[in-house]
Amino acid sequence: LQESMFELIGSEASYLRSLGVAVNHFQASKALKQILSKMEQHILFSNIRQVMAASEKFLMDLEMRLGESVLISEVGDIVLQHCSEFHSLYVPYVTNMMYQEALINQNFVSLLKKLESDPVCQRQSLKSFLVLPFQKITRVNLLLKRLDQSSGGSTKPTFTS
């Protein structure tokens, strides 16, 4: 149970660092801003800054719980507390993914390759950073199910509630 809770916190911290690369390296790129219209920038990055801000708040709450005691009793209440905000942010983000894919396959592939070659990307593509919110939904759901099984069924919330 403790291992799963620490994995949830570690996973969220790692996710947040990667979102930081998407926002601070790709979205903030002056070169990318010069060749993309405002609409294309919105299509490509959607509401990723808000997704990142929600993740920061979630991680802070998880870390606060960890700070209360090294033995974490539960995190389901924290997940429930954040579910409505996640839902309101993730639905439009995930809905926008097909438009992201179409836009990435257009005329700025060479610039993307240059940005992706930066060491901060750790040999990952922009697509791998943009898909993180979608992957998070399934990962947190799996971790919560494992927590529920480990605790004998006392952790009921799911990420998609």
CB 121 within 8 A of CB 21: yes
pLDDT-derived band of residue 160, with 50, 70 and 90 as boundaries?
Answer: very low
- Domain with 139 in it: 2-150
pLDDT-derived band of residue 161, with 50, 70 and 90 as boundaries?
Answer: very low
160 assigned to some structural domain: no
8-state DSSP, 25:
I
23 assigned to some structural domain: yes
156 assigned to some structural domain: no
145 assigned to some structural domain: yes
pLDDT of residue 154: 52
Q: Count how many domains the chain has.
A: 1
48 assigned to some structural domain: yes
Query: For helices 76-95 and 132-150, what crossing angle results, to 10°?
Result: 150
**CATH number, domain containing residue 44:** 1.20.900.10
Average pLDDT over all residues of the chain: 85
51 assigned to some structural domain: yes
Residues in Cβ contact with 46 at an 8 Å cutoff, skipping those fewer than 6 apart: 92, 93, 96, 100
